[in-house]
Structures are given as structure tokens and as C-alpha cells.
A and B are shown apart, each in its own frame.
Chain A
Amino acid sequence: MNTVITAIMLPFLAAVLISLLYKRLPRTRIGWFVLFVPVSLFIILARYIPAIAKGETYSYSIDWIPSYGIRFSTYLDGLSMIFALLITGVGSLVILYSIYYLSARESLHHFYIYLLLFMGAMLGVVFSDHLFVLYAFWELTSISSFLLIAFWYHRKNSRYGAQKSLLITVSGGIAMLVGFIMLFVMAESASIRELIATFPSLSNESLFLPAMILILLGAFTKSAQFPFHIWLPDAMEAPTPVSAYLHSATMVKAGIYLIARFTPIFGGDAIWFWLISGVGIFTLFWGSLNAVRQIDLKALLAFSTVSQLGLIVSLFGLGSVALSFGSSTESVIYTQATFAALFHLVNHSTFKGALFMVVGIIDHELGTRDIRKLGGLMALMPITFTIAMIGSFSMAGLPPFNGFLSKELFFAATLNIQQVDLFSLATWGWLFPVIAWIASVFTFVYCMIIVFKTFFGAYHPEKLEHHAKEAPIGMLISPIILACFVIGIFLFPNVLGDSLLRPAMTSVFPSIAQVSEQLPSISIWHGFNGPLYMTIGVIAMGVLLFRILRRWQPVYRLLPPEWSLNALYNLALVQAEERSEKITRSYMTGNLRDYALYVYLFFFITIGGGLYLTGAFSFDMSNNAQIRIYEWILVFVMMIAGVAILFAKSRLTATLLNGVLGYSIAIFFVLFRAPDLALTQLVVETVTTALFLLCFRFLPEWKKETYKRKTKVFHAIIAIATGTLVTLLALSVQSNKMFESISVYFENAYELAGGNNIVNTILGDFRAFDTMLEIVVLFIAGLGVFTLIKLKAGKEEQNIENK
């Protein structure tokens, strides 16, 4: 079964080919070349529909990183089939539409490369069986979506929208990765199929809940659920084919795919149920509420997408309750919710795709999407109007369109859920049908706004850039095909249901035997029952609200704009930047003294703290050598000289005191029987002192320290503490001799190196590497001094200018 691998790889291959071919290909032909890819994939995949409908599944895997057990494994079953057909099918139509939509002046090859990347990544997401491969494709969809949103990168809003969507979806993606790792740790397997088959219940594991929440974060951010929906309206800055494809039909459904895929693992848990159903139903309500206030058609559609996605997500939540009943006839009733979710998923892709394309046509032909400027287009654009009406009425849930059927199923599911006496649904279950009904009323209202505000009323040619005329046929083909699906699915819902949705039900509920056979088929007319009365109520209330829209729309202005989620997001970004800048500025002062203080502070904490905590301090004088009287004198001279430097009034005194220290050390070297050291120290100290004096000739006399008295005391405390700590540390080390010195070995200097001076043989033979590099240090220092004095780049430049 290499077909699936081919399906994933073909778009990537085509993307590479475009980048190679775009200069030779005539600009108008690129789109046709691209169109070939999804169409052929759609046909290849469609050939598997009969086999999938019989319940067969296909898997195939190749090793990717075998040492980490990461396999590029793919899995084709009912669920991935639905998504793959949507991706390739809607993808074909969108590419066909884009050929006519985008002008040849755009950088078309970029557009199609990004689009193909996205298509391949999306197919990878739905076909992957391995958690980490799934994650890799998941992020690739985020990135390609980012590139597509910012396609017109010279616009500020495009860049803002792209950045926002990337930030939100990638944060969710990373949360999801952490969740995946937790799953992997719990089950010691990264294959989703193995997870489902061999670990029916992970709910006793301590990581179960965090893993669930983190994976849901990924799904919610991607599928624009509340409160992460804010990126979707801003992503509308993308070209309309992108909005139609990514932000209505495919990418936003990746999160839904994830929820459906992981339902067998997490489903049946109360938190899973409430999180998904609760967030979903609230998103449904919130999205529909906000869609009504929009004046930009694309923003309206964006909020309607948010709302419809919420509907689908909540249906998956309602369906997951069936998993807690196990294999019984009772559970089959609740699985209908999931069936409705899958059904609406397909329906939403058809009508939302068509609606976006319609808006694109209006934008393309008239130069605006503002509903305040539009009106009276019905007679001028009859075909566009028909498609818009079919799409909107389907979205509103009216017969004879497919949205009606899925909305009826949705209402039936919300009514059914009240009968469950699990998860405290007996007390709170009534909320579901109520919120669903209110949200549907708003859905009805904004659907009417699309149709009536755009196509009815008076025509205002003076507000438009171009005179209204029907779009070219090429642009109309795709929405017409989608509109045909909208009606076709209504007329023959069971063709879709039996061939695609039922096999997918087995994927979502593997533990409930024969779930796909027990489901009743969808009927267009299901008699007078609860859902139908609810729909009639929606229509009545919706018509009323639409009539008096002007009177209640000002309600939206009651809430100040600073209270919106967008304002919160922007505030968070600004604050994060300002705060981090403030924090960094507070300690990166650029002042040498402060950095030195940090070093000392670190020294106190690690060394002092370590000495204190481990109790390592010890003091032992028994091994000390005897002190003779002239040694006492020398030590006191050095102590006094060291302290006196601090109080020296002139730099000359300070330098001479430094010299006193150096020569005293040389004398110590004599006393401690180190003739070579004594010689070197004498010479070096002389030269250093000379250097100091030489520099002074060119420097001003040093001023008194300008620090305040308080600062000086603070510095003194730091200095004394450092000195004390060094002393304590050294004393502790001296008192704990761990082993004998290795220097006895060097006493074989004559036998091994042929020299009598042990120190010199160490420097020249035993450890000659040190000496070589020390010479290099001296050499570099010499070069540095020379360069510093000789080269005066700044001044030479000035000279050139003056010439």
C-alpha cells in the first residue's frame, strides 16, 4: 500500500518541481500544472472508497529514525479517508478558482509552492499513525499557513495576522507535542493504532489528565476554539482562495481530526466530555454572536467558521459519552452525535468553501467586501447570488440544503444528551439544547445578512470601484460544483453516510462493536419531533431579529473595545516585550562595576554556600612549616603595602607600593627555594612598574574616587568578604590533603630528560605544551600592543576625508 505515501509525497515533489520549472513555464500555466496534483490524488483515493466502506484499513510504514523507534507509518481508514477526500477535493476546486482569481502579476510560483506544501502537510497529518510524525506535519501546516496568510507581505495587516496565527497555533502545537510525549511515556508506544488497541484505558495513569489537556490545547488552538479563535478573523488578510481552503475547509479541521482520532483513547472521561462539549458549544455561541456585528464579509465568514467549528467540536464531545456505556444498544443513540459531527464536517466544507469563493468574487469584481457599500447585486450577478443563497441557507439550516440535515441531527443530539445520568448531566444537560438553539438563531441572522444586505436593497454604484457584472465562468465553476454538493448531499445523504461516514464511525468508536451497522440512516423527513420544532422556532425568531436588526445591533457597542480578547492578546504581547526589556535593562547596566559585583555575588553563593552547606571548612596548623622572624617582617610589609595601595593619594605611590609587593614576592620565592621564579619575578616586576610609569606620562593625574561614602563601605564589605572567603577556602583545602604529590616523578629529570634543573625540565620537557602556548600568549600580547599603538583606523579615515 504505497498509495498513501505517494499521496503525501506528491505535493511536496510538485512543489519542488514548480520551483525548478517556474521560469520556463508560462505564468498562466502554473496553476493548471498544480491542479493536476490534487485531482489525481482525489481519483486515486476515491478508488479506495468501496474497500473502506467494507471496513478494510490499510497501513504501511518505513523506517525513518530507527534508533529512536520513529517510523514513517501511515494508516488509511474511514476517518482519514473523509479528511483526505476533503483536502484533495476542496483543494482541486480552490486551485481551479485561484487560477482565475489571482492575476498573473502576482508571484504565482510562491503561492502554489506554499499551497502544495500545505496540502502535503495536511495529508501527512491525517494519514500519520506515528505521534511524532503527526506532530512534524502538524507544524508544517502551521508554517505553510503562516506563509500563505502573509502572501501579500507588503501589507501590515497581513504580517500582523500571520504572526498572530503562527504564535497561537505553534504554542498549541508545542503543548500538543508535550502531550504526545506524555502519551508515549505512559504507553511506551507512539503508534496511535497500538495505543487504541492495546491500551483501552490509560485513565489510571497520573499523566493521563495532563496529556489530555495538552493535546486538547493543540486541537483547540488549531481549530480556533474559544478563546484561541482570535487568530482566525485576522488570518482573513490572506488571498481568498487561501481563506476558503485553509481557514474553512482543511487546516481548522486538523484540530477536529485530532479530537476524533483521540476520542477512543480519552473518550468516556468526564473531563474530556465537559472540556470538548463545553468549549465547543460556547465557541458556537460566541462565534455566532460576534459574526452578526461584522461589516466585512470575510470577517463575518471567519466568525461563522469559528462558530460552526464549535458546533462540530461539541458534537464530538457529546458523542464521546457513548464510550462510557460500552457495547450496548443504549450507547448507539449517543454515537449519533459523532455521526452528526462527521456529517456536518463534510457539509460545512462544501457550503463554507462556496461562500468564501462567492465573497472572493464580490471582492474581485467590485473591489470591496464592506456590506455597508454593497446591495442590490441580485439582478447583476445572478449566478453568484444563487450560490450565495444556497450556501447561506444551508449554513442557516434550512431545507432543501445539507445544513438542514446536520442541524436537525445536532438538535437531536443535544436533546438526547439530557437523558444521560452521567457526569452530572442530569443537572446541567438542559444547557446544551438551550445554548444550541440561541446560537442557531444568531446563525440564522448572520446568514440572512450575507444574502439580504449584499444582494437585495438598493444598488450603490457610487460607492464601488468597479461596475458590478457577473464573474468570468472560470471563477464560477468551483462554487457551482460545491453548491451542487450542498443540494446533492441533502437529496442523497445516505450515499455519503454509507460510503464514508459509517466506516469513520468504526475508527472513532473501535470499542463499540458494529457501531456503523446499528446507526439509523439519515432521513430527509423525520416527522414532527423536537428538532423540527426547534428549527421552526429558530426560523421564526431569526426572521424577527433580522427585521429589527437596526434596533438591537447597538447592543454590541455597549462593551468597550478594550475588553475584547484581541485587546488582551495585544496587551500581552506589548507587556511581555516591555517587561522583559525592563528586566534586562535593570541588570544589564553596561557598568563594569555591576558585572564585577554579579561575579562576586555568584562566587559568594556557590563557594560560600557550598562551604557552609557541606560543612567542609576545617582548620589544621599541624603541618605548617616554622616561621622565622624575617618572614614575619616580610609578611607584615606586604600586608601594609597591599592595604596602603587603597589609600594612596597619587598613582605613583600606588605603583611603587605594587612594586614593593612584587619584589617582596620575589624575596619569598628566594626563601621558598625557587630561584627561577625569583629571577623571573624580579625582571617582570621591574618591567611592569616601568610600563605603569610610562603610561602615567600620557594619563592625567588620578582623581579621588567619586563614589559616595555608602557605596565605598559596600565595596569594602564585598572586598573583605571575598578575601575572607578565599582564605577560608584555601585553609580548608590545605587541611585536607587527599593524596601525595606527584612531584617525586619529576625528580627523575636527569634520567628522563637529561637536565639537572627540575623546574626547567618540567617547562621544557615534561610539560612543554604549556610553555609553547605561553609563548604564543606573549607573542599575541606583543602584537596587540603593537597594533594598538600603530594602527589608528579612525584617524586615518579622517585624513582621507581631509585630502
Chain B
Amino acid sequence: METLITILVGILVAAATYLILSRNLIRVILGTSLLSHAAHLLIMTMGGLKNGNVPLLGAGAPFVDALPQALILTAIVISFGVTALLLVLVYRSHQEAEKDDVAQVREVDDE
């Protein structure tokens, strides 16, 4: 299972990389969003996917590892905040400069 998920993570990272290298700003943000999905999955996998119970004390041991879950929870919220900010940034830059292309946005800055 771990190996399979890791390969999936690799594919997601590859797709994210390709998107980040593109010109369109929305694609770049989609890329970062994809990358954070991959990262969350990877954290989960690295903790081990051994079968165990839900980490609620009533469920009875053995539990699955709870620490990665806490880390991912934090990461999800932060990546959401960043994505939201980036989206609004693109929206604003389009509104001001009428551009959504990386190279064109730069030209506007130079003026």
C-alpha cells in the first residue's frame, strides 16, 4: 500500500511541477495546490499505513499514528490560506494589469 501511494505521490508531484513551469498564473496556482495534496499524502504515508484503530481512546488499541494526522491538519489549513491569498492576488493583478501571463505581468512591473 505504501509503495503504491508513494508512486501516486510521485505522479502528482510531476504533474504539479509541469503546471508550475507554465505561463498561465491559474495553472501555477493549480500546480501549488496539487503539490500540497501530494505533500499531505506523503506525510500520511511516511507515518506508516498499518492497520489500527481510529485515534480515539474509546476505540481500543492499537491505534494508527496520530502525530502525522495532526501535522497534516495544520498543513491543510495553512495551504488553504496560501491558496486563497494567491487566488486573490491573481484576481487583483488581472484587474490592474489585465494580464494573467507570467511574462506579461513582469513587463507591466517594469514600466
List residues of A whose CB falls within 8 A of some B CB. 590-593, 596-597, 600, 621, 623-627, 631-632, 635, 638-639, 642-643, 645-646, 651, 654-655, 658, 661-662, 665, 668-669, 672-677, 680-681, 684, 687-688, 691-692, 695-696, 698-700, 702-703, 705-707, 715-716, 718-720, 722-724, 726-727, 730-731, 733-734, 741-743, 746-747, 749-750, 756-759, 762-763, 767, 770-771, 774, 777-778, 780-782, 784-785, 788-789, 794
Contacts and interface: CB of A to CB of B under 8 A. Distances in A.
B4 to A, nearest CB: 6
A673 B64 contact: yes
Interface string B13-53: 11101111111101110100110011011101111111111
A741 B67 contact: yes
A792 to B, nearest CB: 8
Contacts of A718: 17-18, 21
Contacts of A733: 46
A785 B90 CA distance: 11
Main secondary structure on A side of the interface with B = helix
A746 to B, nearest CB: 5
Contacts of B65: 741, 743
A77 B90 CA distance: 75
B70 A763 contact: yes
Contacts of A726: 9-10, 13, 38, 42
Contacts, number: 263
Contact of B57 (A639, A696, A758): A758
Nearest to B21: A715
Contact of B87 (A691, A724, A730, A770): A691
Given A743-B67, A763-B74, A672 B49 contact: yes
24 contacts: A590-B106, A593-B22, A596-B21, A623-B2, A625-B1, A626-B1, A631-B4, A635-B4, A661-B12, A665-B37, A673-B64, A674-B72, A675-B56, A691-B84, A695-B26, A730-B42, A734-B2, A743-B66, A746-B67, A747-B61, A756-B56, A762-B67, A763-B73, A781-B81
A177 B41 CA distance: 56
A757 B27 CA distance: 38
Interface string B69-98: 110111011101111110111111011100
Contacts of B90: 695, 699
Interface residues of B, number: 82
Contacts of A730: 6, 9-10, 42, 45-46
Contacts of A716: 18
Determine which residue in B61, B77, B81 has the highest number of CB atoms from chain A within 10 A of its CB, and name it. B81
Task: List the 7 closest A-B pairs by CB distance, nearest first.
Answer: A723-B14, A727-B10, A781-B81, A758-B55, A719-B18, A719-B17, A762-B70
A758 B27 CA distance: 38
A237 B16 CA distance: 63
B46 A734 contact: yes
B92 to A, nearest CB: 5
A643 B11 contact: yes
A658 B1 contact: no
A516 B89 CA distance: 83
A20 B42 CA distance: 68
Contacts of B19: 645-646
Contact of A699 (B9, B49, B85, B100): B100
Given A625-B50, A673-B52, A642 B15 contact: yes
Given A635-B4, A691-B83, A700-B100, A719 B21 contact: yes
Nearest to A767: B70
A723 B41 CA distance: 14
A727 B6 contact: yes
A747 B66 CA distance: 9
Nearest to A764: B70
B34 to A, nearest CB: 7
B14 A719 contact: yes
Contact of B84 (A638, A749, A757, A781): A781
Contact of B23 (A707, A780, A784, A789): A707
A258 B93 CA distance: 63
Contacts of A677: 69, 72-73, 76
Contacts of B76: 677, 680-681, 684
A590 B108 CA distance: 12
A723 B102 contact: no
Given A631-B4, A703-B24, A788-B89, 17 more contacts: A625-B1, A632-B4, A635-B5, A639-B11, A645-B15, A669-B44, A672-B49, A674-B54, A684-B80, A688-B33, A691-B87, A718-B21, A720-B14, A727-B13, A741-B67, A743-B66, A784-B88
A756 B59 CA distance: 10
A706 B84 CA distance: 26
Contacts of B53: 673
A594 to B, nearest CB: 10
Contact of A674 (B17, B18, B20, B44): B44
